[in-house]
Amino acid sequence: MKISAIRKDYIKDRLSEHEAGEDPLALFGKWLDDAVKSGVCEPTAMVLSTISHEGYPSSRVVLLKGLDNGRLLFYTNYTSNKGRHLSENPRASLLFFWGELERQVRFEGNVTQLPAKDSDEYFLSRPYESRIGALVSRQSTVIAGREELDREFARLFNRMKANQEEMRRPEYWGGYALDPVSVEFWQGRANRLHDRLRYSKANVNWIRERLSP
C-alpha cells in the first residue's frame, strides 16, 4: 500500500460567513445535530489534547457529555494522565472530526473541575456496570493483565449486588468543563481550498475571521 496515493475529494458542503453566524456555540450545536441525524459513528467523540509538565503533548478520545453556558463537559479519572496534566496546566484543546460530513471543529480553552454535586449527578446517571468500572479502574496505571481487571470487576459487582450497597462516586472520578477562547470550523472543499472560520473570544464577544486553508 502506498500511503501517499490515498486521496479523497471534498465536495459535500460549504461554509459561508452568512451561514455561520456570529455565535460559534450556536453553529457547533447545529453541526453536532447534523452529525447525529446523519448517523455519524460516535458523534460526541472528541480528541482531548493536554500538555505534561515536561512539555509533551498527549491526545486521546473522550466523549462530550454536555454543554453548559458555552462550556463543553466531559468526565474522567482525576488521577489519570489527562487528569494530572490538567492539574498542572489547565488548558486544553478539543477536536471533533466528522469524516462523513467532511467537517471538523477545534476548541481551545481553559479547563476547570466541575462541582462535586454535578459529578455526583452524572455518575449516578451512568449504567450500573459503567459505575462499577469506574470504581475498579486505576486509569493509566500498569496492571499485570486483563484477568486482574475482570476478577476485580466480578468481585466488586457480586459484593455490591449481594449486600445491596449504595454506590457512591469515587473522589478520584468526576467532571471537567472547557471554557473556549478559540473555536475553529473546517469544512472540506474541492481542490483542497477548504473553508476555515475561526472565532476568538474578546471579552464577552467573539471575533470571526476566515483563515487560508
The annotation places the binding site for substrate at 7-10, 65, 122, 126, 130, 192-194
- DSSP assignments along 94-152, one per residue: EEEEEGGGTEEEEEEEEEEEPPHHHHHHHHHHS-HHHHHHHHH--TTS--S-HHHHHHH
- Helix, strand, coil percent values for the chain (each to nearest 5): 35, 35, 30
Give the Å distances, CA to CA, from 43 to 38, 91, 142, 178: 9, 23, 30, 18
**Phi, psi torsion values for 48, nearest 5 degrees:** -95, 120
192 is catalytic: yes
Question: Among residues 155, 159, 192, 210, which one is catalytic?
Answer: 192
Instruction: Give burial (CB, 10 Å; 0-12/13-18/19+) of 16.
Output: exposed
As annotated, the binding site includes 7-10, 60-65, 75-76, 82, 104, 122, 126, 130, 139-140, 186, 192-194, 196
What is d(CA 113, CA 95) in angstroms, rounded to the nearest whole number? 19
- DSSP assignments along 1-45, one per residue: --GGG------S----HHHH-S-HHHHHHHHHHHHHHTT-SSTTE
As annotated, the binding site for FMN includes 60-65, 75-76, 82, 104, 139-140, 186, 196
What is d(CA 137, CA 94) in angstroms, rounded to the nearest whole number? 24
| Residues designated catalytic | 192
